[in-house]
Structure 1
Amino acid sequence: MKKRFIAMAVSLGLLSCAPKKDNIIAIDVLIIPSEEMDAQALKLNSHIHQNNPETIKLDENHIPHITLLQCFINATDLPKVNAALEGLHKAIPQDSLQAESLFYYQDKEESFAMVRIEKTKSLLKIHKKTIELVKPYIVKNGSEESFVQNPDGSPIRESTVIYVPEFIEKYSYENFDPHISLGVAQKMLLDSLAQHVFKPIQFEAASLSVYQLGDHGTAQKLLWQSE
């Protein structure tokens, strides 16, 4: 009777010898800029989005930020990642961040634009320390399901999925390019924004946070934030 029950349970999926698959999530460890820089990024993006409604719109679900690390982790390891990052925000010197320029490709009629942040020794040190602290929890085999899904049901872009596990190898250390993404617009508009709207300012890190990534590498779902 007992053997018959076990056989029935297995056939119904009540019992399984297969190991439970971990839920893998794509995360962005990032710096939230202080209010003045945040306001400028939102203003620049507003002009860009009016010019091109198809590009990203910075808002509460797509917050302005400076990425320190993108990677895949097991969701069960998120508390360990958060604990490892605790206190790192305090290591960022006050007024150590500098908005250098409005960067875009000036040889193209339409270009992706971003606020380029000066890669100072202190910022590079924080970037390297972030990788060191999170690296024990990084996994490679994430998928589209690791991201916050698009509201319209469209699939996460393959380029977004591929970018995350390549971040350390291709976009870190000497290749680290700190910036705040703004979206795609026509060069004529970007020329005007660079001349009349963008201001090179020094600013602080309001917080260090962990977000779950959405499509196009957007920071969408807050998972943890420094105090």
Structure 2
Amino acid sequence: MKNNYLLITLILFALTNSCAQNQQKVIAINVLLTLPEDVAREAIQLNGAILKNHPKNITLNDNQIPHITLLQCYVQETNLPKIEKLLLGLYKTIKNDTLLVDELQYKKDKTESFASMGIEKSKSLMALHKKTISLLEPYILDNGSQESYVQNADGTPIDEFTITYVPKFVSAHSFENYNPHISLGVAKTSLLDSLAEHNFRTMKFQAASISVYQLGAFGTAQKLLWESE
């Protein structure tokens, strides 16, 4: 009888511990603006030109969508319903505003550089960025781990740069340091010079939605968790 009681106690402890661990799962999320078809297509084409010469790169497609980040952070997965509720109606504050792709951003003084389509820091976009942080601030965690991300298909670990970048997004990459952009990848500056001269064009557009994605390696938006009405 004593042994049975001990066995039952151990089973209950294991189940309770397992539930607690599941409840405490931390995920890395990106609250972002999705793009209209023409802007997304332009980003994918520029990314494709980069991939021809630099294949070890982010690959923009349906699984790694081009986007404009508003906030990256770690949160408890169990808090996602609360976060989604807070974001309801937020898209209405930006849906009719005109945004502008105004430059091909890269470091021209380097032989190789990360490139992106720069977005004008309009008043409405900056206000949305700040509002998003304000709404989610109670749920933002200091740290995550490898398991917080959509895992790489080839089994390689999530890069350390991404793991350490995400918790610093608010302190180091927001407000006056916020740089709205559409990531394209890393390339030789000579190629980027050519793309800037012959391929890149400024574009006006309206955001298609506000969405929440789980992040993958290199800060890519990979798993859709929620999308605005």
> Which bin holds the TM-score, normalised by the shorter protein?
over 0.9
CA distance in 2, matches of 1:158, 1:109: 23
Q: After TM superposition, list the pairs within 5 Å mapping 1:1-227 onto structure 2.
A: 1=1, 3-11=2-10, 13-16=11-14, 18=17, 20-21=20-21, 22-227=24-229
CA distance in 1, matches of 2:57, 2:211: 24
Specify the SS of the correspondent of 1:20.
helix
Unaligned segments of structure 1, at least 5 residues: none
TM-score, with structure 2 as normaliser: 0.94
Check the 8 A contact 1:96/1:122 in 2, yes or no. no
The runs of at least 4 consecutive aligned structure 1 residues that moved more than 4 Å come to: 16-19
Shift of 1:4: 3.5
CA distance in 2, matches of 1:96, 1:124: 13
Specify the SS of the correspondent of 2:13.
coil
Shift of 1:95: 4.3
CA distance in 2, matches of 1:44, 1:10: 60
CA distance in 1, matches of 2:4, 2:175: 57
Name the aligned partner's letter for residue 153 of structure 1: G
Shift of 1:111: 1.2
CA distance in 2, matches of 1:54, 1:158: 16
Alignment identity in percent?
Answer: 52
Shift of 1:187: 1.4
Name the aligned partner's letter for residue 187 of structure 2: A
Shift of 1:93: 5.0
The CA RMSD over aligned residues, in Å, is 1.4
Shift of 1:139: 1.7
Shift of 1:201: 1.2
Q: Indicate the structure with greater helix content.
A: 2
CA distance in 1, matches of 2:144, 2:228: 26
Q: 35-44 or 211-220, which moves further after superposition?
A: 35-44
CA distance in 2, matches of 1:95, 1:199: 20
Check the 8 A contact 1:100/1:201 in 2, yes or no. yes
CA distance in 2, matches of 1:5, 1:75: 36
Name the aligned partner's letter for residue 185 of structure 1: A
Alpha-carbon displacement from aligned partner over 1:163-195 (angstroms, at most 9, x marks no partner): 111111111111111000000111121111101
Unaligned segments of structure 2, at least 5 residues: none
